[in-house]
A and B are shown apart, each in its own frame.
Chain A
Amino acid sequence: MTTRDDDPGTEDLETGMQPSPLRVVPKIFVAALVPLFFFNSLGIANWTRSLPPTELHAGLNKAAVAWHDIMLSTGPARVFAWLRDTIGVKLD
């Protein structure tokens, strides 16, 4: 336990950092999501499969599977599968 002089937990992490304008964030989000969308299309397809069974979710799943097929045939999903096989560590 600490005394008040130690003053833990009150330090802001922002100390010594520079804020940015909000307008940069959407660009960052888009740039971060694109690789996931293209390379991990299997993850999206799996996620839509895990949703509760409704007509909307079935439609989503169909679209996600179609997207994954395109990514498989054009390459990005295969690259990710190869990466996974190469560096992935199995959880047992």
Chain B
Amino acid sequence: MIFPTLNFLLFYLVVWPVAWGLALLRQHTLHKLAIIAASYFFYCVWNWKLAFLLFASVVLNFAAGRLIDATRGGTRLWTVRLAVAANLSLLGFFKYYGWFVDSLGELLRSVGMTRELPMLEVVLPIGISFFTFQGISYIVDLHRGDLDRSRKLIDVMFFISFFPHLVAGPIVRAASFLPQLETPPSPNRVFVGLGMILIVWGVFKKAIVANYLAVQLVDKAFFDPTAFGALDLWFAVYGYAVQIYCDFSAYSDIAIGVAALLGYRFQRNFDQPYRAERLREFWRRWHMSLSSWLRDYLYIPLGGNRGGELRTYRNLLLTMVLGGIWHGAAWKFVVWGALHGGVLAAERWIESLLPKPAGVEPFWRRVVGVLLVFHFVCFCWIFFRAEDMTRAGEMLAGLLDGSKHSTLLTRFHVALIAFGLAIQFTPSDTLQRADRLVRRLSPWSLGALAGLAILLIEAIGGDGAAPFIYFQF
């Protein structure tokens, strides 16, 4: 079940009144059980057998949480380590087993050894990367004391399985989400404006911008880069940068909006990433729930920037390579992560050599910074999007080959790309301004406006919606 579909709308129209009805009747436990049941239904629509895996992940983290609470000193530390290792093993087996066996087989063949390696058909459970990271967040937050105590099974189930974030994030932190389950959501504090704006805006970004760029430009160019001219390929790369932003941020927006209307709060996941002037800043704005997760649960435990410059560079590189592998079991993601990690380290090194600028940087330097970061990110997206490294090589070669004419690019594509980039530079309080406007409307007018907006999007975009890119991770 994916968000901008009639299936999801009907599902939500059942879940919303039931959940709020129970909350208003002060049946908090039943309210949570209803949302958990809905979340498992949401997951089972895709594959009911793998819902047992989701449940196993919940039970594992719940039991580890209880043990962490009950133990002290070395035993507690070992419980944390084992629980994190168990979570990672689950992720490792389902996500990386095939890749590991393939890579090992290739390595053995390259040194002249042929071995029959045990090959299993492992289905990749949707959302496993997200719910595993949330499980780890529960364990580590508990261990660090960011979370005061372990929680009941029902709360751990709710936290890990809550349907808005279940399959593609945002990666919700235990320490910020679990306290919300202490009391029923308040009927006097529903962020309706935020929810409605994010849902409509998300549907627009996904159904119009991301879908059209994907189908008409990006997919064709990346399928066979040798068939198109350099101009087509340049714009396909820019198009992919806009597509992945509009696709993934749309999912996050809809997830945040859907949760907000149920009375729950998620953290922001995107903040106009392509306006970043430094790569470090890009990572403060892109997939923020992942980058902050990697920072808090990987980069800092590795030593962060506490062990001198060289260790900091190593930690940056390692964190980003692992962040790359988190996206998928393929060498292209390793390259993508290593490029980002390498340039983050280089950027830090260069900044340490230069004198700190006094006051605000001149405008031209900021523009150059934005252009450099954007083009570097686009360069890395080529590896991320290409089918494999060979195709990425063809894409790179094609970008420099001026011998072919453009046959793919249209004004409509250019307009979509320009729009996707323009929205990166709107004032940072645009959402608040929109909320103030929306609050002037009566509920009936707001609803009618939202309905008409969805109708217009549907008229432009047509039926159906392609799966979100981040479903595969």
Contacts and interface: CB of A to CB of B under 8 A. Distances in A.
A72 interface: no
A31 interface: yes
Interface in A64-83: 80, 83
B6 A27 contact: no
25 contacts: A1-B299, A1-B344, A2-B284, A8-B284, A9-B269, A9-B289, A10-B267, A12-B265, A14-B265, A17-B432, A24-B192, A26-B17, A27-B443, A28-B447, A31-B446, A31-B448, A32-B447, A32-B448, A33-B451, A43-B458, A47-B7, A80-B459, A83-B455, A89-B461, A90-B462
A1 B188 contact: no
Nearest to A19: B189
Interface string A3-45: 1101111111111111111111111111111111001100110
A56 interface: no
Interface string B204-234: 0000000110011000000000000000000
What are the nearest 10 A-B pairs in CB distance?
Answer: A31-B447, A9-B288, A9-B292, A28-B447, A32-B451, A27-B443, A22-B187, A35-B451, A19-B189, A24-B443
B431 A13 contact: yes
Contacts of A7: 292
Contacts, number: 175
B444 A27 contact: yes
A6 B304 CA distance: 13
Contact of A29 (B447, B455, B461): B447
A28 B192 contact: yes
B429 interface: yes
A89 B191 contact: no
Which of B265, B284, B447 has the most C-beta atoms of chain A within 10 angstroms of its own C-beta?
B447
Contact of B455 (A11, A80, A89): A80
B265 A29 contact: no
B406 interface: no
B256 A31 contact: no
B443 A13 contact: no
A38 to B, nearest CB: 10
A87 to B, nearest CB: 5
Contact of A8 (B17, B288, B451, B458): B288
A14 B194 CA distance: 7
B216 A19 contact: no
